[in-house]
A and B are shown apart, each in its own frame.
Chain A
Amino acid sequence: MRVGRVVVFGALLAATALAGCGSGGGGGGTPTLNWYVFKEPGGAYDQAVANCNKQAGGRYKIVYQALPTDANQQRELLVRRLAAKDSSVDLVGADVIWTAEFAQAGWIKPWTGANRAAAVKDRLVGPLKTVQYRGGVWAAPFTSNTQLLWYRKDLVPNPGENATWDQIIDTAIKKGKSIEVQGNQYEGLTVWINALVEGAGTPMVSQTGKVTASDKAIEDAARIVRRLATTKAAPAGLGTNKEDEARLGFESGRSVYQLNYTFIYPSAAEVTTPKDFQKRIGWARYPRTVADKPSRPPLGGINVAVGNYTKHEDVAFRAALCLSQPKNQAIASEKGGLPPTSEAVYNDAKVKKAFPFADELRRSIEEAGPRPVTPAYSDISLAIQKTFHPESEVQPSDVVSKLQDRLDKAAEGKIF
């Protein structure tokens, strides 16, 4: 009796193990490609997967493996698998800031020949920069994202293309209202600081992790951060706010300006008091750090990369191209509110309807200031966050030496 049970259990185990191999699809049959990418709540990624599976006609089958929405957690889960050479990671929905790290570590495959040409065809310059590292192309740009300066049309005038941070802080103080930003100690803070430093005219860090920004640029950024945090323009909880807290703060009516991604626009339609809240929102380009230089808005987004340990290299590249094609970008805009990376998609009628601000969006993405492309990106981001948080204690006089000290330690692999 007991022996019988053990045998049955063993057989079950073996069957599961075999099934596991089967899904890898070693020989014959349709190869299964796992696409690890964040859980997109609008269903846009599900539909992109369905489209491609249909288009593939049995040559491959993509399975959507949903990751958390938090970029740090997505990376942690993927890094753990890739560092262990997990062959089930066929396709990676890579955040724009991972390219250098994943390429340097040998976790994703370089794109060459016809695949490479197809991946970069007709893409906007900003997103294109995020797939390039050391002269190679490491992913196909899929969706993009940027922040606009949202303002209350009923309370403040249109800040225009050339508004500076100082001007909008002045206006907010005059109105007794605040400006919503992302001030928590997390990636969103790096996004803000990077945009400020880039806006002062210099990229922050080189590919090897050396500080390239001038002292003046970093001090300018620190001065704005401190000014916003220590005046009446600071919203409650500035130091703990992320994207969603900023959106809620803006919707509550406590603020006249908000720096945030495009998701806040559809959300504004749901606001009930006042009922016409969405109509009261205007948009403008990201504010300038210094008056005489154009702003460099933040750049986000997802690129599709091919995992280095996949057993189905050929079809994986084809699937990545399929997922990132303009048709699926349009779906991502419409259903997920995620801006396209292909120029032509901005003229699509559906996209224009989803984004009444499509022109501003496109220009901002084109002229964005991407975050540093370096393999030690997560170290650098952590160093920036620790230096600029809490915002009210940032001192322009010592910010450069503090940042430099942390970045040096990061580069040497030390504790900071």
Chain B
Amino acid sequence: MEAATTEATRVAPAPPPKVTERAREERKLAWMLCAPAVITMLLVTGFPIAYAVYLSLQKYDLRFPDQKEFVGLSNYVDALGSSTWWGDVWNTSLITIVSVSLELALGMAIALVMHRAIFGRGPVRAAILIPYGIVTVVAAFAWRYAFDPASGFVQGLPLISDTAAPLTERGGSLIVIILTEVWKTTPFIALLLLAGLALVPDELHEAAKVDGANAMQRFFRITLPLMRPAILVALLFRTLDAFRLFDTVFIQTQGANGTETVSILSYNVLINRVNLGLGSAVSVLIFICVLLIAFFFVKVLGTSTAQQRGEV
């Protein structure tokens, strides 16, 4: 098809392009079939994004509607010049990096277990997936109450002080938030990695075994390199998710004790202070951060869905 078009272009203008009536009709039909999806996507994602960008260029506080005016990039200057924004970016990055690393290590271990499980494969997989099936808000409450000195059981465990109140100070709060995140989303990573493991042919392992490679060598030299696309996709998804972390922090600390994330900041400005202009600017900045992360993964680390399918 492509070759035909190129040839047609080269010999043009003399003979008409060799696109048959049927092919043209099919292409038209394809566009018509796609159209509802494209239009819906434009309406539900394109429009809100464009509107947020438009709002972010305004001075617009819902409580003072008369003072609405166009202020250009001044909201962005405010946000980027504020130590709160950079502090929150740091908090968010810290939580993201630590939790995603832990999730990757644990997820890999769990994926290997699920892959190798000989008996009870179904129950093992189901049990591992339970945390992922629990609503995030519920999970966040469960962990908060577990660590609360009045209602929690954690203080009763050995080696932990009876009056420990981790959610009242920064280190403790960060640990509880990260634990909740890891507990909740490790199954997700494990699932994606399990799919990647299935791509590694058994013959390679057997051949390596014959050549005298031990289990460690087989894992690092064969399994990991072949799983690279799956790992990168899992990391990409989780990093993007973790960077937008909101619910766990909102339930457990509301951003107190220096645990405020960029999403909590956006909520405070946009929903609590109803400052639509500044809040939208913060939201757009978060969007740009997410784009940068995605760009880094796709361009620098070379993640792609084609790789995931094993086509490259």
* Given A237-B150, A239-B256, A390-B256, A104 and B63 contact (CB-CB distance below 8 Å): yes
With known contacts A237-B149, A239-B165, A382-B268, A415–B64 Cβ distance under 8 A = no
Give per-residue flags for A77-114: 1 if the beta carbon is below 8 A from chain B beta carbons, else 0.
Answer: 00100010000000000000000010011100000000
Rounded to whole Å, the gap between the CB of B86 and the closest CB of chain A is 10
Decide if B27 is an interface residue (CB 8 Å cutoff).
no
How far apart sit A394 and B129, CA to CA, in the bound complex (Å)?
43
Asked whether B63 lies within 8 Å of A184 as measured between CB atoms, the reply is no
Asked if B65 and A249 make an inter-chain contact with CB atoms under 8 angstroms apart, the answer reads no
Q: Mark each residue of chain B from 267 to 296: 1 if its CB lies under 8 Å from any CB of chain A, else 0.
A: 011011111011000100000000000000
A375 surroundings in chain B (CB, below 8 A): 63-64
| Contacts A79-B274, A379-B273 given; does A415 touch B282 at CB 8 Å | yes
Q: Which residues of chain B come closer than 8 Å to A413, judged between CB atoms?
A: 59, 61, 275, 277-278
Which residues of chain A from 354 to 397 have any CB-CB distance to chain B below 8 Å in the complex?
375-376, 378-379, 382, 389-390
Q: Which of A83, A240, A382, A414 contacts B167 (CB 8 A)?
A: A240
Asked if A390 contacts B169 (CB within 8 A), the reply is: yes
Pick the residue among A79, A105, A378, A415 that contacts B82 (CB under 8 A): A415
Contact B78 A415 (CB under 8 A): yes
| Residue B85, interface by CB 8 Å | yes
Of the candidates B63, B150, B169, B278, which one forms a contact with A376 in the assembled complex, judged by CB atoms under 8 Å apart? B63
Chain A's closest residue to B88 (CB) is A415
Chain B residues lying within 8 Å of A303, measured Cβ to Cβ, are none
Cα A379 to Cα B274 with chains together (Å): 9
Interchain CB contact under 8 A, B59 and A239: no
A161 at the interface (CB under 8 A from B): no
Mark contacts of B57-98 with chain A using CB atoms, 8 A cut-off: 1 yes-contact digit, 0 otherwise. Answer: 001011111000000000000110010110000000000000
CA distance A83 to B60 in the complex (A): 12
A133 within 8 A of partner (CB): no
B84 touches A185 (CB 8 A): no
Interchain CB contact under 8 A, B150 and A236: yes
What residues of chain A lie closer than 8 Å to B265, measured between beta carbons? 415
Complex Cα–Cα for A376 and B272 (A): 11
- Tell me, in angstroms, the Cα distance from A252 to B64 when the chains sit together: 47
Nearest Cβ in chain B — how far from A397, in angstroms?
20
Give the contacts of A159-208 with B (CB-CB under 8 A): 184-186
**Chain A residues within an 8 Å CB radius of B187:** none
A378:B165 contact, CB within 8 angstroms: no
CB distance from A405 to the nearest CB of B (A): 10
Counting CB contacts under 8 A, is A267 at the interface? no
Which one of B79, B85, B150, B253 contacts A245 once the chains associate, using CB atoms below 8 Å?
B150
Q: Which residue of A lies closest to B85 (CB)?
A: A415
Query: Are the CB atoms of B78 and A414 closer together than 8 Å?
Result: yes
Interface status of A72 (Cβ within 8 A of chain B): yes
B307 CB–A CB distance under 8 Å: no
Whether the Cβ atoms of B150 and A252 lie closer than 8 Å is yes
Report the minimal beta-carbon distance from A212 to chain B, rounded to whole angstroms.
21
Kindly identify which residue among A104, A249, A252, A416 contacts B84, using a CB–CB cutoff of 8 Å.
A416
Closest A residue to B170 by CB, please name it. A390
Among A106, A248, A382, A410, which residue has its beta carbon within 8 angstroms of that of B150? A248
Residues of chain B within 8 A (CB-CB) of A239 are 165, 167-169, 256-257
Interface set, chain B 177-215, CB cutoff 8 A to A: none
Q: Which residues of A contact B268 (CB under 8 A)?
A: 382
Residues of B contacting A236 in the complex (Cβ-Cβ under 8 angstroms): 149-150, 163, 165
Is A314's beta carbon under 8 Å from chain B? no
* Shortest Cβ distance from B80 into A: residue: A415
In the complex, per-residue mask of A399-416: 1 if CB is within 8 Å of any chain B CB, else 0:
000000000011001111
Assembly CA distance A104 to B65 (angstroms): 10
Residues of B within 8 A of A378 (CB): 272-274
Q: Which residues of A contact B269 (CB under 8 A)?
A: 415
Q: What band does the interface of chain B fall in when counting residues whose beta carbon is under 8 Å from A?
A: 35 or more
Q: How far is the CA of A410 from the CA of B85 in the complex (A)?
A: 15
Q: A7-48: which residues lie under 8 A (CB-CB) from chain B?
A: none
**B79 — which chain A residues lie within 8 A by C-beta?**
415
The smallest beta-carbon distance between B270 and chain A, in angstroms, is: 11
Which size class do A's interface residues fall under?
20 to 34
A76 to B165, CA, bound (A): 30
A145 to chain B, nearest CB (A): 22
Contact B62–A105 (Cβ < 8 Å): yes
B255 close to A (CB within 8 Å): yes
| A119 in the interface (beta carbon within 8 A) | no
In the complex the two chains form, what is the Cα distance from A288 to B268 in whole Å? 33
Roughly how many angstroms separate A300 CA and B168 CA in the complex, as a whole number? 26
Contacts of B149 in A (CB 8 A): 236-237
Determine the distance from Cα of A416 to Cα of B265 in the docked complex, in whole angstroms.
9
Instruction: Kindly state whether residue A238 has any CB partner on chain B within 8 Å.
Output: yes
Question: Bound state CA distance, A387 and B148, in angstroms?
Answer: 23
Expressed in whole angstroms, the Cα–Cα distance for A409 and B84 within the complex equals: 11
Contact B273 A105 (CB under 8 A): no
In angstroms, Cα B203 to Cα A168, docked, is: 77
| Given A101-B63, A382-B273: A240 and B165 interface contact (C-beta under 8 Å) | yes
- CB contacts (< 8 Å) of B64 on chain A: these are 104-105, 375
Name the A residues within 8 Å of B165 (CB-CB). Answer: 236-240
A245 to B271, CA, bound (A): 26
B256 touches A185 (CB 8 A): yes
Q: Tell whether B254 is near chain A: CB-to-CB under 8 Å.
A: yes
- The residues of B that contact A416 with a CB separation of less than 8 Å are 82, 84
Q: Is the CB of B85 within 8 A of A185?
A: no
Shortest C-beta distance, A205 to chain B (Å), equals 15
Cβ proximity bits B246-268 to A, threshold 8 Å, 1 near / 0 not: 00000001111100000001001
From B82, which residue of chain A is reached at the shortest CB distance? A415
| A interface residues, Cβ below 8 angstroms from B | 72, 76, 79, 83, 101, 104-106, 184-186, 236-240, 245, 248-249, 252, 375-376, 378-379, 382, 389-390, 409-410, 413-416
15 contacts between A and B (CB under 8 A): A105-B63, A184-B256, A185-B255, A236-B149, A237-B148, A237-B150, A237-B167, A238-B168, A239-B165, A239-B168, A375-B63, A413-B275, A414-B78, A415-B79, A415-B278
Question: Which B residues fall within an 8 A CB radius of A?
Answer: 59, 61-65, 78-79, 82, 84-85, 148-150, 163, 165, 167-169, 253-257, 265, 268-269, 271-275, 277-278, 282
Other than A409-B82, A415-B79, give 8 A-B pairs with Cβ distance below 8 A. A105-B64, A106-B65, A237-B148, A240-B148, A376-B63, A382-B268, A389-B256, A413-B275
The 8 closest A-B pairs by CB, nearest first: A239-B168, A185-B256, A236-B149, A415-B82, A237-B165, A105-B63, A237-B149, A236-B163
